[in-house]
Structure 1
Amino acid sequence: MASEDGQDNDEILLHLYMHDYFIKNNMHETAASLRREASVPDNSVQIDHPQGILKEWWSTCSDIVLKEYSEGETYAQMSDHMMQTEENQNTDDMLQQHQVICDQSLGFFTKDSKFHVSGKCHTDLHHKFLCCDFSSDGKLLAIAGREEKVLFWNTEDHNKFVTGESHSLPISDVRFKPNSTMVATSSYDKTVQIWDSAEAGKSPLKLQGHGDHVLSLDFHPRRMNLLCSSDRNNEIRFWDINQGSWTHIFKGATKQVRFEPRNGKLLATSSGNVVNVFDVQTYKLYAVFKEHDKEVQSICWDPDGKHIISISEDSARLWSVSERKSLHELSSTGNIFQCCTFHPWNWKFWIIGGYRSFELWNPFESNKTLTIDAHKELVSSLATSIEPEMVASTSYDKSVKLWASP
């Protein structure tokens, strides 16, 4: 939707974030220039980030932005200042940010709502993680993000190994093939690639055909050769991985795609502020959920395949798929919601990742939540292992944490 002077709301918000960054980093002349040239509104951006929310956005997306766009003098000034700011961070902060910390926490959601932390392990890999997924047996956790490789972490012996680089741009999503050591990755380089964690040195199978950034993918729970992916053009592709080619194309997903976990008869997708549910056999819409005001960032099925939770920046919603309606809504109340998953031993509890924290929510009882400090920056993704019972979280703070229930 455009404003009265013709500016798109997203463009206005971007300018506000840019102005907020310049002000917080004492770049007042640049801020004044931007305000004049872009007609930046007088209202301020209330973001709990000492250097502005744009610092976090830039650090995550700069690889893509710099490869695709040629910026003017203002953007170059912003980039130079951000790099200088990062170089001036003290040594302790840099060492802490450049570690992957895997915390094994006991008592993820005990009756007394307490945490009991034990054990840590470290690696030298240092980049922001955007996505993660457990293998079916919970023994492996696949983690990926800004770099073009996949980190596999063995949850039993704590050994870790990394694939060689194959994508040319950051990885947007990673999913294990059910009951397998194989994972698929989607990337901003417009490709889908399939890796075997049992053969880390082997080159991945590359699936090409998307015309824009591939933002999500998922394996079918029963049809082992069927893979689904979606791109920024709202295009969904079904792939036969045995043949290495796509079998069907239709519209209806940008941000995320997830098959119903029991039999895979339905596919849930997010596109803008809408959640779509498609019949996998006919490719026709089964249900459409439109009650989010902002873009849907994440969707997740419960293990029974009866409910979907969807997350936008300002709210979470629980949907009944068979009834085709919203059952419950939770406001973010000032936090920034980003991702979601269900609790590993009680699916009626949902875990919502936000800025630095988790919200544990049982919508069947009330809209009250338990807030848990989890990371130092935005929680970028969550994954659940049912057996053994674990939850993994990744964050823009360059850490991945493993939480285990009692």
Structure 2
Amino acid sequence: MYNFEVTTLEGHTELATNLIFSQDGQTVASASYDKTVKLWDATSGKLIHTLTGHTDQVWSVVFSSDGRTVASASLDKTVKLWDATSGKLINTLTGHTDTIWSVVFLPDGRTVASNSRDCTVKFWDVNTGKLINTIVAKYADEDDSVIFLPDGKIVMFTVSGETMKLWDVHTGKLIHTLTGHTGIVRNAEFSPDGKMIASTSFGTVKLWNANTGKLIYALTGHTDEVESVIFSPDGKILASASDDKTVKLWNVQTGELIHTLTGHTKLVWSVIFSPDSRIVASTSTDKTTKLWNVNTGELIYTLTGLTYSVNHVIFSPDGKTIASGCSDNIVRLWKMTNEL
């Protein structure tokens, strides 16, 4: 049994689009349609800084690995780098000619990469703010994803109807074409080690070998659209969320169904694992987030009392706090007080 205390973080005037914890778990950053990024104390819930300067919606926010720098990406075509301690603007990275979908720090900590609707991926020096390199991805589209794999390779997913393509971002060469879905592909995710890909289409989840592009398993059982899939951090389990009001847990090595998690009263649109892979959280349009025991499939706790649907949920690095963003513009911190 778990008990939770909830703290409300109020301040955004529009929807929070993205939430992230710093790696030490002490700070939460929230990006919003209101053109700001807010930094919150994860323990007290108090507002630390409001980062202002973007002139349009902020869609992506990320901490550097040392927690000292925050990067934000906006529809205003810029990336901004901020000092996380002082809240001051360090640099504004300009050069994209269209909306920037996402921003990420590279493992070296000295480089930040931005992915834009202008079909480019740009690499920037964090210390100087100078542009290092631009890769033109003529095959890109707003629904596509740039992915940084553990081995340092950078790839891009493109989806067109029933077909997925995997490209090498550096060379622009096609790596694999993944075919086999009979409906439009809704979602695709890499495993933590970068060796497998999971994709969804209507009621089917497919697992692919990322190195060969070959289909490994077709996971069937959902009776309606599968909204999202995610691998557990240890790479052993895949969770799928569906409009059929269920979450299914699958054994990645065998393709076998482990558990079907039932209890939501409306479609389930998102799932996420705790860092230790022991808990999976599911969010639904029934205005609840449910926490499940991965090993037993049992319901642990339901985060309730919300009058709006939850649109974003993340775990803190230690797995003891959950941050959620709702359509009421409020960010909530759910802190685990005990485990019985």
Given the two structures, how large is their TM-score scaled by the length of structure 1? 0.57
**For residues 3-50 of structure 1, what are the alpha-carbon distances to aligned partners after superposition, in whole Å with 9 as ceiling and x for unaligned?**
xxxxxxxxxxxxxxxxxxxxxxxxxxxxxxxxxxxxxxxxxxxxxxxx
Which residue in the other structure is 2:104 paired with?
218
The equivalences for 1:187-202 within 5 A come to 187-200=74-87, 202=88
CA–CA separation in structure 1 for the residues paired with 2:207 and 2:326: 24
The equivalences for 1:55-66 within 5 A come to none
CA–CA separation in structure 2 for the residues paired with 1:379 and 1:330: 27
Asked which structure has the greater RCO (Cα within 8 Å, sep 6+), the reply is: 2
Question: Which structure 2 residue ranges, 5 or more long, are not aligned?
Answer: 265-281, 283-287, 290-305
Deviation, structure 1 residue 235: 2.7
Q: Which amino acid aligns with 2:46?
A: N
CA–CA separation in structure 2 for the residues paired with 1:333 and 1:159: 43
Which residue in the other structure is 1:266 paired with?
154
The equivalences for 1:299-310 within 5 A come to 300-310=189-199
Structure 1 SS opposite 2:257:
coil
Structure 2 SS opposite 1:286:
strand
1:324 pairs with one of 213, 219, 244? 213
- If each structure's strand is expressed as a fraction of its own residues, which one has the higher value? 2
Which residue in the other structure is 1:394 paired with?
325
Larger Cα Rg: Structure 1 or Structure 2?
Answer: 1
Which residue in the other structure is 1:286 paired with?
175
The equivalences for 1:49-198 within 5 A come to 116-126=2-12, 127-198=14-85
Structure 2 SS opposite 1:199:
coil
1:366 pairs with one of 241, 249, 257? 257
Q: Is the 8 A contact 2:239 2:250 kept in 1?
A: no
Which residue in the other structure is 1:254 paired with?
142
Q: Is the 8 A contact 1:328 1:363 kept in 2?
A: no
CA–CA separation in structure 1 for the residues paired with 2:221 and 2:324: 21
Deviation, structure 1 residue 170: 0.7
Q: Is the 8 A contact 1:193 1:205 kept in 2?
A: yes
Q: Which amino acid aligns with 1:394?
A: G
Q: 1:325 to 1:237 in 2, by over 3 A?
A: farther
**For residues 278-317 of structure 1, what are the alpha-carbon distances to aligned partners after superposition, in whole Å with 9 as ceiling and x for unaligned?**
44654544344456644656x5443333334456787655
CA–CA separation in structure 1 for the residues paired with 2:80 and 2:226: 31
> Number of aligned pairs?
285
CA–CA separation in structure 2 for the residues paired with 1:170 and 1:132: 14
Deviation, structure 1 residue 205: 1.5
RMSD of aligned residue pairs (Cα, Å): 3.7
Deviation, structure 1 residue 169: 0.8
Deviation, structure 1 residue 180: 2.8
Which residue in the other structure is 1:229 paired with?
114
Q: Is the 8 A contact 2:27 2:40 kept in 1?
A: yes
Q: 1:271 to 1:129 in 2, by over 3 A?
A: farther
CA–CA separation in structure 2 for the residues paired with 1:389 and 1:324: 37
Deviation, structure 1 residue 354: 7.3
Deviation, structure 1 residue 226: 2.4
**For residues 365-398 of structure 1, what are the alpha-carbon distances to aligned partners after superposition, in whole Å with 9 as ceiling and x for unaligned?**
3185425432665554444555456654434343
CA–CA separation in structure 2 for the residues paired with 1:271 and 1:147: 30
Q: Which amino acid aligns with 1:366?
A: L
Q: Which amino acid aligns with 2:49?
A: V
Identity %: 25
Q: Which amino acid aligns with 2:92?
A: K
**For residues 67-104 of structure 1, what are the alpha-carbon distances to aligned partners after superposition, in whole Å with 9 as ceiling and x for unaligned?**
xxxxxxxxxxxxxxxxxxxxxxxxxxxxxxxxxxxxxx
Q: 1:119 to 1:391 in 2, by over 3 A?
A: closer
CA–CA separation in structure 2 for the residues paired with 1:217 and 1:314: 31
Q: 1:240 to 1:277 in 2, by over 3 A?
A: farther
Question: Which structure 1 residue ranges, 5 or more long, are not aligned?
Answer: 1-106, 108-115
Q: Does 1:207 align with 2:93?
A: yes
1:242 pairs with one of 122, 127, 152? 127
**For residues 250-297 of structure 1, what are the alpha-carbon distances to aligned partners after superposition, in whole Å with 9 as ceiling and x for unaligned?**
21353433312x342233445555655444654544344456644656
CA–CA separation in structure 1 for the residues paired with 2:102 and 2:218: 26
Q: Is the 8 A contact 1:166 1:204 kept in 2?
A: no
